[in-house]
C-alpha cells in the first residue's frame, strides 16, 4: 500500500522552501516511489484559514500520515495573538499530539562549504555531529506555567522544567542506539550543577549506559558545551540533551555547517513515524523574495526517506544531488562566497532536481 505524506508549507519562507523539496519528491515519485501526498495548513496559515494553529482538519491528516514534511511557522503579524493561537503553539501541539519525542539534528559540513562557516576551515572541516534533542518535554511543556500576580502584588512569569523518568529513558535509548551506529561516543549535556531536573537526567543516563557497554558516555554542562562547540566541535560524535538546551545548541551548531539553511531535522515517535523540517524558522526578513536556502528542507526529505520509509538508496540519491550542486559552485545568498555562483531559492531547487 502506498505511504501517505502530508505536506505542511507553513508561513514565511515555508511555502518557498517546501516547493523545492516537492519538486525533488515529484521526481522520486515519477521514478517509482509509492506515496500519496496531501497538504494542510499549520501555524499562522492555519490560524488565517481556520482560526487555530493546529486545526482539526490538519490533525486528522497528520494522524493518518506516515510522514510529514514541514516548512516553518511563525511571523511578526502573529506575535501579539493570545498564546494558544500563535503559530509556534501549533508546532508544539503537533509534536506532542504525534508523540514525536526524538528530534535528530545532524550538523554535517559539506567540504565545499568549509569557507562558508564563520569559523576557520580547519576547525570545522570534516565535521559530522548528531544532536539528539528531546522534543516533547522539559520547560516547553511543564506545568504550571503562565504570568500571574504574586503575594507582593507584582506580576511574575513562570515555567516549569520537568522530566518524567520514562521520558528520559526513551530518549536515552534513541541516543545510545544512534551512537552505536556511528562513532560510539555520546555526550549528554545538562546543567546538573544547578538544576535538579537535569541532575535526574544525568542519573538516568548513567544507568541506561550499562545496557550499551560499547558506547562511551560522557557528561558536559551546557555552558561548557556551548563553548566547546565553537572551540573544538569535532570532539563530538552524538550529543543528547533536553528540549530547551537542544533548541539553542542546534542553532549554534548550524553555523558550523555554513548556515542554518543547511541543517535538516527529523522528529520521530517510537515507530519512526516522523515530521521532517529544517531546523530554522520562517525567516520573515527574506520571505517572499525567493532568497531562502531550500537545502535544509530538501535534506529533511532525505531524512524522511531514510527514517520513515527505510529507503537508504533514495535518501542517498537526494543527498548526493545536494552535494553535486554544491560541488558545481551554486550557492544561495546565505552560503555565498566569492568565486561561487549566487542563485535563488527556486533555481537551487531546479539544480538539485537536475542533479538527481
Within 13 Å and on the Cβ side, how many CA atoms surround 138? 22
Counting beta carbons within 10 angstroms of the beta carbon of residue 181, is it exposed (0 to 12), middle (13 to 18) or buried (19 or more)? Answer: exposed
Map the footprint of ligand NAD across residues 290-309, applying CB under 6 A.
292-293, 296
* Residue 88 interacts with ligand IPM (CB under 6 A): yes or no: yes
C-alpha cell read off for 324:
553535486
Q: How far is the CB of 154 from ligand NAD (least distance, A)?
A: 28
Q: Confirm or deny that 231 is annotated as ligand binding.
A: no
191 a catalytic residue: yes
Shortest Cβ contact with ligand IPM: which residue? 88
Quick check: is 350 catalytic?
A: no
Interaction residues for ligand NAD, span 47-106 (CB under 6 A):
72-75, 88, 91
What is the spatial distance between Cα 319 and Cα 161, in angstroms, rounded to a whole number?
A: 37
Phi and psi for 122 in degrees, rounded to 5? -70, -20
Count of CB atoms situated within 10 Å of the CB of 148: 10
Looking from the CA of 335 toward its CB, the CA atoms found within 13 Å total: 33
**233-272: contacts with ligand IPM (CB under 6 A):** 247
Binding piece for Mn ion, criterion CB under 5 A, among 25-33, 93-101, 244-252, 299-307:
244-252
The answer to whether residue 311 is catalytic is no
The residues near 276 (Cβ < 8 Å, ≥ 6 apart) are 67, 68, 69, 70, 264, 265, 266, 267, 300, 301, 303, 304, 308
Among 247, 277, 319, 334, contact with Mn ion (rule: CB under 5 A): 247
User: For the chain, how big is the Rg over CA atoms in Å?
Assistant: 20
CB 164 within 8 A of CB 197: no
Stretch that binds ligand IPM, among 3-11, 86-94, 316-324, 347-355 (CB under 6 A): 86-94
Given ligand IPM, ligand NAD, Mn ion, none, residue 92, with its beta carbon under 5 to 8 Å by kind, binds ligand IPM
Residues in 63-82 that interact with ligand IPM by CB under 6 A: 74
Residue list, annotated binding site: 75-88, 95, 105, 133, 223, 247, 251, 281-293
Catalytic residues: 140, 191, 223, 247, 251
Residues at the interface with ligand IPM (CB under 6 A): 74, 88, 91-92, 247, 279, 281
Amino acid at each position: 500500500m502506498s505511504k501517505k505524506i502530508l505536506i505542511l508549507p507553513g508561513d514565511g519562507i515555508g511555502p518557498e522552501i517546501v516547493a523545492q523539496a516537492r519538486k525533488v519528491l515529484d521526481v522520486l515519485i515519477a521514478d517509482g516511489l509509492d506515496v500519496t501526498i496531501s497538504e494542510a495548513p499549520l501555524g499562522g496559515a492555519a490560524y488565517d484559514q481556520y482560526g487555530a494553529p493546529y486545526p482539526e482538519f490538519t490533525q486528522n491528516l497528520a494522524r493518518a500520515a506516515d510522514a510529514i514534511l514541514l516548512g516553518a511557522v511563525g511571523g511578526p503579524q502573529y506575535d501579539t495573538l493570545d498564546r494558544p493561537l500563535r503559530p509556534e503553539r501549533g508546532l508544539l501541539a503537533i509534536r506532542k499530539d504525534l508523540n514525536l519525542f526524538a528530534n535528530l539534528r545532524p550538523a554535517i559540513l559539506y567540504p565545499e562549504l568549509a569557507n562558508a562557516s564563520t569559523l576557520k576551515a580547519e576547525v570545522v572541516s570534516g565535521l559530522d555531529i548528531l544532536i539528539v534533542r528531546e522534543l516533547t518535554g522539559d520547560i516547553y511543556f511543564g506545568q504550571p506555567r503562565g504570568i500571574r500576580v504574586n503575594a507582593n502584588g507584582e506580576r511574575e512569569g513562570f515555567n516549569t522544567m520537568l522530566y518524567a523518568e520514562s521520558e528520559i529513558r526513551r530518549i536515552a535509548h534513541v541516543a545510545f542506539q544512534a551512537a552505536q551506529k556511528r562513532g560510539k561516543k555520546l555526550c549528554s549535556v545538562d546543567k546538573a550543577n544547578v538544576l535538579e531536573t537535569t541532575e535526574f537526567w544525568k542519573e538516568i543516563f548513567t544507568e541506561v549506559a550499562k545496557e550499551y557497554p560499547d558506547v562511551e558516555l560522557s557528561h558536559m554542562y551546557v555552558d561548557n558545551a556551548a563553548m566547546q562547540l565553537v572551540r573544538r566541535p569535532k570532539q563530538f560524535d552524538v550529543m543528547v540533551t533536553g528540549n530547551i538546551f537542544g533548541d539553542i545548541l542546534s542553532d549554534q551548531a548550524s553555523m558550523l555547517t555554513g548556515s542554518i539553511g543547511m541543517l535538516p531535522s527529523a522528529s520521530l515517535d517510537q515507530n519512526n513515524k516522523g515530521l521532517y523540517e529544517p531546523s530554522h524558522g520562517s525567516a520573515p526578513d527574506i520571505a517572499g523574495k525567493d532568497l531562502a536556502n531550500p537545502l535544509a528542507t530538501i535534506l529533511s526529505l532525505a531524512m524522511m526517506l531514510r527514517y520513515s520509509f527505510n529507503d537508504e538508496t533514495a535518501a542517498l540519491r537526494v543527498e548526493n544531488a545536494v552535494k553535486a550542486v554544491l560541488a558545481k559552485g551554486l550557492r544561495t545568498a546565505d552560503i555565498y562566497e566569492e568565486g561561487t555562483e549566487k542563485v535563488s531559492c527556486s533555481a537551487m531547487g531546479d539544480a538539485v532536481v537536475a542533479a538527481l
